[in-house]
Amino acid sequence: MLIIGGAEDRCCGSGVLERFVADCGGAKARIVLVTTATGAPTQVLAEYEQVFGKLGVRHVRELAISGRSDADSTAAMRVLNGATGVFFSGGDQSRLQALVGSKLNDDLRKRLADGLVIAGTSAGATALGRTMILGGDGADVSTGPGLGLMPNLLIDMHFGERGRLPRLLSAVTLDPDRLGVGIDENTAICVSDDSFEVLGSGTVSVVDAKAATVVHPAVPDDPITLFGVRLHLLPAGCVFDTGSRTPAISPAHARY
């Protein structure tokens, strides 16, 4: 899986999208673009057709889901047949709630286990976790069920650019067993098995509150009390073991 913090470089077909295409099979890739989150699907489809085309991909197909009936339809399953990669565009993540628990959601989970490459950017990134952040700022955060394709992660995007550390901290206190992962723009994590690698030009912030002390306020407007939370900042080349919850610098990027 490739989880992107939004605003990825589309001008030259480079960086994180290049990694996505390579993982999908390069020029032989067959990519399905899920445009459910965006309010401008025609424009978004044209943009990604252009950037994927520059990378040699000739097969890009849109999967437009406007409601639960679409997500449960056999037509949606047929679009996925033969795909080597699925890409969730950005937009408004609340629109992606129509997919949660659907037949399409179940099929994506099965196909992921069989080797399908799945990516999401911005709203399409936060929806990939078991819980997705729907909105809010600071302590006033709203969450809802996600697609559960990355059940151990809670993802936030446009992270450094929009100062979202307080929001991610608040979201993690609602589910401390999840790792909070805040991803900067034009930055991504490439997930495989029980670890991920950081790609791109920014930083990934990992919030680990599993051993923290959380005291929720008695009055809604009062702040949360949070002791002992761990914070890791990972630029490109770093890796994170989600099983042991430990970061490291990849041997390929280590400096001696």
Instruction: Please list the active-site residues.
Output: 122, 158, 185
Residue 132: both structure tokens together: 């997705």
Residue 79 contacts residue 90 (beta carbons within 8 Å): no
State the residue for tokens 């408004």: 92
SS3 93: helix
The total number of residues shown for the chain amounts to: 256
> Quick one: tokens of 89?
């565009």
Residues 6+ apart with CB under 8 A from 35: 41, 44, 45, 62, 63, 64, 89, 91
- The H-or-E segment that residue 79 falls in is helix 74-80
Nearest CA-CA partner of 245 in 231, 235, 256: 231
